[in-house]
Amino acid sequence: MTQPLLPHERPLVSTVESGPGRRGYLGQDIKMAHWLWRMASGFIDYFLLGWIPANVLTAMGMYPGDAILIALGIVCINSGVIQGNTGQSIGKRLLGMKLMRSYVSPDIKIYALFPGILVGVLRVFLQVINASILCIGYFWPLVNMKYQTWTDLVCGTYVTRDRSVFLMSMAKPSKKLQKALRG
């Protein structure tokens, strides 16, 4: 007997079947987010929501260690918890991107899932991997076919970009879409 999927594990509306004679990894209809879009999202999520608040709090007289902890908390909530549950941090939502993980079911269907809180928070702390060795991990998407950073490779995640994702995140989903998402 199978257990019901958690909200962040529900498949997207369309699934792509794999197997002989089928399309490649996750199909051709899924567009990976280019490096420039990912860097713009990172600028919003880490610089505007992390670095600037830490400096503003320090300038207002707060002890720098406390300001850094508050900024790290903001980043963990945005890029860890919220992005883990919805696939979108504030930066990704503004730019129409989603963080996903793939799952191959026993009936050989490939599902795209939201990563979950644990993977989301893990990705925040694994940014150290991307920053190590002259920040090469942040430039790795330029040579990777799925535009994955080193952190994405470790966590098994990838970032997709679709204008419809942006439009759907700004509007209430239709009843038909809500029903399809519930499974």
pLDDT at 24: 36
End-to-end CA distance of the chain: 16
- Answer whether 100's CB lies under 8 Å from 157's CB: yes
Q: Which residues pair with 172 in a beta bridge?
A: none
Which token pair is 118? 């644990």
Among the listed residues 29, 7, 6, the one whose alpha carbon sits nearest the alpha carbon of residue 178: 7
pLDDT at 105: 66
Indicate the domain borders of the chain: 7-120+156-169
The sheet carrying 97-104 orders its strands as: 16-17, 109-113, 97-104, 157-161
Question: In 3-state terms, what secondary structure has residue 56?
Answer: helix
Average per-residue pLDDT for the chain = 77
Give the residues of the chain that fall short of pLDDT 70: 1-30, 104-105, 107-111, 163-183
- Taking only the tens place, the pLDDT of each residue in 115-150 is 889 999 999 999 888 888 888 989 988 888 888 899
- Answer whether 157's CB lies under 8 Å from 101's CB: yes
Q: How many CB atoms lie within 10 A of CB 76?
A: 16
Among the listed residues 30, 74, 84, 29, the one whose alpha carbon sits nearest the alpha carbon of residue 54: 74
Q: Which residues pair with 102 in a beta bridge?
A: 112
pLDDT at 104: 67
